[in-house]
Amino acid sequence: MTILEAQHLTRVVDDERIVDDVSVTISESDVLVVVGPSGAGKSSLLRLLNRLDEPTEGTVLFEGTDYRSIPPRTLRQRIGLVPQDPALVPGTVAENVARGAILRDESVDDAAVERLLERLGLADYTDRDVEDLSGGEKQRVAIARTLYNEPDVLLLDEPTSHLDPDSEERVEALLSELIRDLDLTVVLVTHDEDQARRFGERVLALRDGVVDRVGPVEEVLA
């Protein structure tokens, strides 16, 4: 079943078409990897997919509904983004993971927080101050924070780009496990074609905001 359908998505900033007429369909359990050189518009495309930025032209259908008719907060809960920079708030690991619930004034599901931390290899980290975490640990907290909302689609922006090789391997392995075990639908941005090969089923290659190629990983990254 199709979950997301980008239709002619375009964003113009200062007369520059940073995302230009991108149409792509994402089905349930798809892992679509977006690749392209620096400045190709990969992060910009991701931010358009959950309307963190507003399209200048085109739109996205989420489960068949134009996403502009869905309240932004609901939309961003359903289509969750893990940003390139984890941007944690001062406080404990648990407070960051449950950030969505706290912002929505909902009670926190402590058991769900614990389950996620365990899945992300952070079992005893609940009360740790996020200031004291390594880059890889912060990134894993950011992933848990987005997954806490149980999104239908997970958007990952360069999830390992700031990490040292050991942390990169760890985060990549954890993400692969999560994708498989939770049967996640994912759009993952990376500049690293090897990483795209490791994750990808389908690859979308962007160049100057335009879709250069889209298709199975072995064809696009041959």
Residues that bind ligand ATP (CB under 6 A): 13-14, 18, 36, 38-44, 191
In terms of CB distance, is 124 or 194 closer to ligand ATP?
Answer: 194
Which two structure tokens, joined as six digits, stand for 111? 């058991």
Q: What is the rounded CA–CA span in Å between residue 200 and residue 193? A: 10
Distance of CA 83 to the CA centre of its chain: 7
> How many other CB atoms are found less than 10 A from the CB of residue 13?
11
**Between 93 and 204, whose beta carbon lies closer to ligand ATP?**
204
- Residue 191 or residue 213: which is nearer to ligand ATP going by CB? 191
Q: From the CB of 166, what's the least distance to ligand ATP, in Å? A: 22
Does residue 186 sit in helix, strand or coil? strand
79/189 with CB nearer ligand ATP: 189
For residue 135, give Cα distances in angstroms to 175, 176, 179: 16, 19, 21
CB of 43 vs ligand ATP, minimal distance in Å:
3
CB of 24 vs ligand ATP, minimal distance in Å: 15
List the helix and strand counts (H, then E) for the chain. 9, 10
| Nearest distance, CB of residue 168 and ligand ATP, angstroms | 16
